[in-house]
């Protein structure tokens, strides 16, 4: 990995002062860790829910220790835990379990992604919480589901990519399948969990009752196979790896220009005609019998690629991308992460900013992809330090006074250093 220096980032674009948020007034108790569960609660927090993250008082979410660090905090942890309050409890302690139970009783939503049986061991399982708070929406995120033969089986994102066949579709045909760089199954499972929670909230408006909702990495990964899964089920043919090419249309894929690769998508004949006529200035290619239809082009893909790359070699990728976009041909320069974060598109969408953190100083922040015209997402607040809001939450949510909090500290509810 090359290092070019930390980029300078602008402050975030702020919401209209006083505007309501979509989930304003809802409380979420978050017992999740790593990525999938916290991604769910990140979406809920950005939409204005009051998310209270419960962590192990001894050392917190393991994601805090992932590299790199800023001010002693793992940057991956900072990425997925903004706009949340942090409470540190020793859940092996009876007094801490009582606090957690009271918080759950006060909540609209609970999210957890422990192994099966852990929440029950702490007295926080669904059945107990439903009796205590029938309106509670209890969201469980797991690898293979909470019931059935695989309920106790451990699974992580790349393992799930391998098992579902997702990995087999990615890469080049002459090499083994590869996993994705980002943890897309964790991320997408967190998104589906947030969707499930929103569905349960809508149902609660009609029934008055909460319910348990579940998402599993394996199930989400099966969804992420996309239409390739349906293609297999309909034909019995295994999808093959095509690298950066499309298995269905051409010219679609990466093409070399004078200074580097460009990704172009021509998914239909109309787009192909625009490409060869208005961009490449070779209208004869649209009438060439080898290239008239997509079926013809697929049969002569290598010949067409050689012709196109011969023309593209005359100019830079940026110039060709601009010309294609102007002509209605989807195209983009193949960038590094550094190039992407220096791009016009990233700045235009205001997706990277700098926000203050209580111990790390100014830290980078990735903006929410959600846009609401009347109820904007919250302005970003950095992820909490371990136990940063414990006293505040006990006072303002549970109504505990200083003496009660001191008693709980003495009883070990906040761990040995609490």
DSSP structure class, residue 334: -
Helix (H, G, I), strand (E, B) or coil at 217: helix
**Runs of H (alpha helix) within 15-125:** 36-46, 75-80, 94-105, 118-121
Query: In this structure, are residues 104 and 126 in contact, taking their beta carbons and an 8 Å threshold?
Result: no
N residues, the chain: 418
Terminal alpha carbon distance of the chain:
39
241: left (phi over 0), alpha (psi -120 to 50) or beta: beta
Query: In this structure, are residues 190 and 35 in contact, taking their beta carbons and an 8 Å threshold?
Result: yes
In sequence order, which residues have a C-beta less than 8 Å from that of residue 117 and are 6 or more positions away? none
Dihedral of CA 193/194/197/199: which sign?
Answer: negative
Catalytic choice (61, 186, 219, 284): 186
Determine the Cα–Cα distance for residues 178 and 241; give it in Å rounded to an integer. Answer: 10
DSSP characters for 307-327? HHHHHHTTS-HHHHHHHHHHT
Q: Is 186 labeled as catalytic in the residue annotation? A: yes
Known catalytic residues are: 186
């Amino acid at each position: 990995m090359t290092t070019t220096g930390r980029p300078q980032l602008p402050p975030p674009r702020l919401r209209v002062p006083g505007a309501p948020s979509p989930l304003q007034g809802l409380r979420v108790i978050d017992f999740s860790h790593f990525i999938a569960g916290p991604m769910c609660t990140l979406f809920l927090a950005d939409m204005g829910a009051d998310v209270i993250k419960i962590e192990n008082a001894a050392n917190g979410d393991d994601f805090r220790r992932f590299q790199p660090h800023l001010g002693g905090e793992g940057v991956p942890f900072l990425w997925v835990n903004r706009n949340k309050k942090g409470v540190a409890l020793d859940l092996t302690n009876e007094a801490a379990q009582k606090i957690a139970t009271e918080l759950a009783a006060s909540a609209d939503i609970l999210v957890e992604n422990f192994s099966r049986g852990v929440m029950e061991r702490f007295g926080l399982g669904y059945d107990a919480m439903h009796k205590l708070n029938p309106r509670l929406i209890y969201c469980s995120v797991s690898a293979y589901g909470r019931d059935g033969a695989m309920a106790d089986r451990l699974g992580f994102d790349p393992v799930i990519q391998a098992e579902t066949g997702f990995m087999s579709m990615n890469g080049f045909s002459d090499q083994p399948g590869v996993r994705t760089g980002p943890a897309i199954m964790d991320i997408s499972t967190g998104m589906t969990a947030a969707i499930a929670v929103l569905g349960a909230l809508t149902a609660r408006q009609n029934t008055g009752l909460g319910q348990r909702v579940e998402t599993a990495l394996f199930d989400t990964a099966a969804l992420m196979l996309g239409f390739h899964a349906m293609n297999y089920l309909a034909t019995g043919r295994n999808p093959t790896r095509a690298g950066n090419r499309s298995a269905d249309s051409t010219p679609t894929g990466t093409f070399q220009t004078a200074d580097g690769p460009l990704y172009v998508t021509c998914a239909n004949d109309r787009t192909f005609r625009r490409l060869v006529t208005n961009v490449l200035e070779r209208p004869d290619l649209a009438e060439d019998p080898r290239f008239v239809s997509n079926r013809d082009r697929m049969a002569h893909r290598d010949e067409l690629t050689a012709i196109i790359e011969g023309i593209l070699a005359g100019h830079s990728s940026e110039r060709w991308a601009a010309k294609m976009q102007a002509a209605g041909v989807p195209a983009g320069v193949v960038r590094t992460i550094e190039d992407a974060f220096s791009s016009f598109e990233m700045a235009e969408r205001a997706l990277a900013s700098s926000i203050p953190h209580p111990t790390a100083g100014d830290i980078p922040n990735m903006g929410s992809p959600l846009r609401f015209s009347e109820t904007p997402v919250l302005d970003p607040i950095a992820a909490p330090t371990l136990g940063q809001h414990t006293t505040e939450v006990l006072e303002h949510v549970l109504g505990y006074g200083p003496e009660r909090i001191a008693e709980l500290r003495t009883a070990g509810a906040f761990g040995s250093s609490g």
